Structure 1
Amino acid sequence: MGYRVAIVGATGNVGREMMQILAEREFPVDEVAAVASGRSTGTEVEYGDTGKMLKCRNIEHFDFAGWDIALFAAGSGPAKEYAPKAAAAGCVVIDNSSLYRMDPDVPLIVPEVNPDAIDGYTKRNIIANPNCSTAQLVVALKPLHDFATIKRVVVSTYQSVSGAGKAGMDELFEQSRAIFVGDPVAPAKFTKQIAFNVIPHIDVFLEDGSTKEEWKMVVETKKILDPKIKLNATCVRVPVFVGHSEAINIEFENEISAEQAQEILREAPGIMLVDKREDEGYVTPVECAGDSATYISRVREDPTVDNGLTLWCVSDNLRKGAALNAVQIAELLGRRHLQKG
């Protein structure tokens, strides 16, 4: 016997990716509902590559009673209005928005990092999915933290335009085309030209000069991994369609060599170590797109601090940063609590 699963936001990039991954991983489903806003009602979406087409249902009239799991990929507005209704109807919500991440009664889960925290979902019947840049970061940090205890992290991100949704991807494409043919370039989704440029600004600015994206990385890492870790982030949007990259500098309490770190990372869940000190001996966003792994390359010791390491981390933000992590949470929930299939 399988689950009844609703995908809320089924017509968006992440919603479609959720359906793709559910099908790929053969998640045990008896029924899947594609749910979206009223303007998408009746639109057909494919369930993975199965050829099975689902007609979108209007979230305003959707009854969550009798459904086991709802994967929300519709943003904070719909999550605020409909996630509590779904949860109250007995459907466990796994929400991809930022709305519930820092709620003390809502577990924030990356299954490779803090699976035991999922047991707290019963307080609100809601589980939060972390920010895309946080998800790959904590997967990389967890096994190293277990071995040598992390004191401080400084991370610079190189985040793809798909993190801003379809509008971000369209803007990169249209601006690139315009530059090649000599047409004017006008920013719309982003604050400045994104084609052939980088923008050190993701989300709104806060009073201390950081952006909300940078703040998310700090507070979410502390909640998921360890509140004692000090972290500073600079988040940058780059002209890449899919795949976030991160340059991570780590200071540890205890001694750890680059060779030890490589051995640890090679065996860690969810990680693929590709670290040859030669041309093409590392992974870039182009290679990670469409893959489920978090890739680590360029592991080396930092001679400027005691017990310091620097590494390069790349992951498909639509998968591990969003859809894949949500499906992995659903799998974990099934194993530990729902126990069907």
Structure 2
Amino acid sequence: MTRSKVLKVAGLTLAGLLVLGAGAAGWAYWHLDSNIKSVDINQALGDDRPAEGVRTPSAGVSESPLPTGSVNILVLGSDSRSGQENQALGGGSSTGARSDTAMVVHIDAGRKTATIVSIPRDTLVTRPSCPLKSGGSTAVAYNSMFNSAYEVGGPVCAVKTVESITDVRMDHYVEIDFAGFAKLVNALGGVTVTTDQNIDDNDSHLHLAAGTHHLDGTQALALARTRHGIGDGSDLGRIGLQQKLVKALLTQISSTNLLTDPARLYSVADALTGSLTTDTGLDSISELVSFGRSVQGLSAQNVRTVMMPVVIAPSDANRVVAKEPAASRLWASLR
């Protein structure tokens, strides 16, 4: 489920730490910083990637100017982390990792508007050869499900596969796990979502009548994973719910005054950093703060959510393929 705007919360972290006092602030900063896990995507993939976009600093004199250029972020919701909490919420084991949700978040130059593009996990793609941590590489796979990239090669292969089908450079990578997402929603006080139809999904354990509901973390996660209780039961219907949830989360974040509640601020920051795996460009509190400051003018009203255009795959009625030339036009608009 994606969720790059959530990183804006990190921009408030330092203000909260100041309230905690010098000693406690030092421990809290260390704890939040050490929470974050990272993967060196750039080193793993080398130079065989789409070109980087132009990065421009903000105007004015500053020791650490904020970037204002466009940026693309691959956001994955994953069941890859084992443990009691994730298993209780439906997560997989460490040997059965899958990317349950995939979104490319494009933030425009100036960082005041953004487009979030969902990629259906059932999309058939050509999965490129990906380097493995153990050495060697995976074989090229044709007509492979998109979410298999994460399963066979982790974040590195997920990024390489997205770049190969979009020809768009992923400047950053962000992954959030099941338990962490639920904790984050709870720390924010829940999230309010309006559904257009009844949801009755025994697999996700979510049963909601059409209308407006205030969901806790477990319910919000179930909404993001629901597919069998809506529409034709495909992944495409679930993407619509996920996009509603993204907008609702952005609204909840912007309406929650964390600066006046240090305890909640720390709870949100702890939930966020504890659930993240990022690329090495976002794997510290200072980097998250800088990124958060750079998008502080971005509001939920200026975030557009779309899905990569797809059609039913000729080879399998239960799978989809990119609809051309519409998909290529969409990706070209993000370069």
TM-score of Structure 1 vs Structure 2, range by shorter chain: under 0.3
Q: Name the TM-score, length of structure 2 as normaliser.
A: 0.24
RCO greater where, 1 or 2, for CA within 8 Å and sep 6 or more? 2
Q: Name the TM-score, length of structure 1 as normaliser.
A: 0.24
